[in-house]
Amino acid sequence: METTLEQQEVLSMPRIGDKAPSFTAVTTQGEINFPEDYTGEWSILFSHPADFTPVCTSEFMTFAHLEEKFEKANCKLIGLSIDGLYSHIAWLRTIKDKIEFNGMKNIEVKFPLIEDITMNVAKKYGMIQPGESKTQAVRAVFFIDPKSIVRAIIYYPLSLGRNFDEIYRALIAMQTSDAFNVATPADWNPGDDVIISPAGSCGVAEERMTNTDDLECEDWFFCTKKLDKQTVLDTIIKK
């Protein structure tokens, strides 16, 4: 079965390591030029299926509640759906005035919510997945670094609300990798041991296995070291 040009456009998406596709968009906070307006800081661009839907409402309330926490980690939030600007405004006003969820109420969404009626941005970022819906964006999350490079991508189906602890953990882990030239193991959180890159030569491998000063090596390719939680937070989190 041949893939049509329209299907190729819908399914195209940037890959990890690519420059984030540029666009200009109208939002609930005015016009933005992405990613140019966010150069020098991290950003999370995320899509949701539609305004006035319950799962999306729970997510926007949670993101808004955590916005200051992300700001302190030098990260801006930008939301998107294919609804229009006036629908966005009405929905966000309803959230603030009427909705209570998980102990949160009177939540004001201050980060930009992109109007994307033409689906121009959603198509550029592969947010429309025809297997899920041809008219709604799935729950995509793009992590963009200060150099406008896509660093991580997470996709969720329409029915599944996102885990915001994991989104924040992934952000801090990537910033830690950049700052300390390390990798982070499964389930890593600040204060846990970090992984150093595998040895590139036999000599380095032998040295690592015999040097017990600051490394803990299970084998030549699997070495960890301590990285103090406060050191990580002092480096990454704004005061």
Q: Would you name the residues annotated as active-site residues?
A: 56
Gap between the Cα atoms of 170 and 161, Å rounded: 17
Binding site, annotated residues for substrate: 139
The maximal CA–CA distance of the chain, rounded, in angstroms, is 65
Q: Report long-range pairs for 123-128 (Cβ below 8 Å, ≥24 apart).
A: 123/9, 123/10, 123/12, 124/12, 124/14, 124/21, 124/23, 125/13, 125/14, 125/21, 125/45, 125/47, 126/10, 126/11, 126/12, 126/13, 126/14, 127/13, 127/47, 127/80, 128/10
Give the position of tokens 């999370």: 44
Angstrom distances, CA of residue 4 to CA of 1, 68, 128, 137: 9, 43, 15, 20
CB 134 within 8 A of CB 94: no
Gap between the Cα atoms of 83 and 140, Å rounded: 16
Binding site, annotated residues: 139
